[in-house]
Amino acid sequence: MEAMEQWKDQLEQLKSQLEPWKNQLEQWLHQAIEYLNQIPPTQLYAAVAVLLISTLLLLSFRFFKCTKSNTIVLTGLSGSGKTVLFYQLRDGSSHQGTVTSMEPNEGTFVLNSESNKGKTKPVHLVDVPGHSRLQPKLDEFLPQAAGIVFVVDALEFLPNCRLASEYLYDILTKASVVKKKIPVLICCNKTDKVTAHTKEFIRKQMEKEIDKLRVSRSAISAADISNDFDLGVPGEAFAFSQCRNKVTVTEASGLTGEVAQVEQFIRELVKP
């Protein structure tokens, strides 16, 4: 009983201590109501509308900032080894060599090399066919791409250098790529072969071809140019370092599973 009486006394003391705060809050509330009553309804409604819109914009910004894309697009000329690379990244298999795709291959999965590492963010990988008639399908996937892997056949590079450079030029000048500064990895595939060209040779040759394309296409009347942006610096030889988005070059082999640099590129853009 004595403990109960002490508890009641402490409660009464607490109530007496909080009483001034209660009175102060009631006074502030009364003043706030009086102030609001003095504001014309139209101004009050406008203020509430501004507050609501600002809150919605802030929430939307935070939502879109947190939902980063996990889509990586594989593209390049037909026969460059994109589909083999796709399967190698997905399940560590080459699926018995080169497969010519006529429809996009896509899937959302954890990279094969990370399959035993516990909780890892899946990657949405899209393999876009390289046939010239099917290349326009690329435009369907670029808006949501976090990165682009442009696959080049390092073994048969020279006969296809101009076509590959034209295709890459078109990608690097697309508004959907330039405005979002989508990183591009030029993947020199099939470098396990002795006669394959090195990534430095391929980079230099493609820069030269794109430099020629810059000159020839700038000579066309503006009405006939389909590219959204120009490349390079006027008066200077073209280099990938001049692009608005980051362009890097690496070597790989889809057949032998040497894809570590490609996986690193993907994981820099799609965080685990």
Tell me the average pLDDT of the chain. 83
pLDDT of residue 228: 67
CA–CA gap between residue 61 and residue 56 (Å, rounded)? 9
For 26-42, how does the pLDDT look when each residue is reduced to its tens digit (9 = 90+)? Answer: 777 777 777 767 777 77
For 195-217, how does the pLDDT look when each residue is reduced to its tens digit (9 = 90+)? Answer: 999 999 999 999 999 999 988 87
Query: Mapping DSSP to helix (H, G, I), strand (E, B) and coil, where does residue 76 land?
Result: strand
pLDDT of residue 198: 97
pLDDT of residue 65: 45
For 135-187, how does the pLDDT look when each residue is reduced to its tens digit (9 = 90+)? Answer: 778 898 999 999 999 999 999 999 999 999 999 999 999 999 999 999 999 99
For 43-56, how does the pLDDT look when each residue is reduced to its tens digit (9 = 90+)? Answer: 656 666 666 776 66
Q: Up-side HSE of residue 158: CA atoms within 13 Å toward CB?
A: 5
Q: How many CB atoms lie within 10 A of CB 97?
A: 10
Q: Which residue has the higher pLDDT, 10 or 128?
A: 128
Every domain of the chain and the residues it spans: 1-64, 71-270
Q: How confident is the model at residue 66 (pLDDT cuts 50, 70, 90)?
A: very low
| pTM over the 0.85 mark | no
Q: Which residue has the higher pLDDT, 108 or 63?
A: 108
Would you give the end-to-end CA distance of the chain in angstroms?
A: 61
Residue 173, both tokens: 């000048």
Q: Which residue, 73, 173, 53, 85, is CA-closest to 125? A: 73
Measured over the CA atoms of residue 223, residue 224, residue 226 and residue 232, the dihedral's sign is negative
Query: Mapping DSSP to helix (H, G, I), strand (E, B) and coil, where does residue 102 land?
Result: coil
* Cβ–Cβ < 8 Å for 127, 106: yes
Q: What is the CATH number of domain 71-270?
A: 3.40.50.300
Q: CA-CA distances (angstroms) from residue 269 to 48, 113, 122, 141, 189? A: 40, 17, 12, 16, 21
Measured over the CA atoms of residue 110, residue 105, residue 156 and residue 170, the dihedral's sign is negative
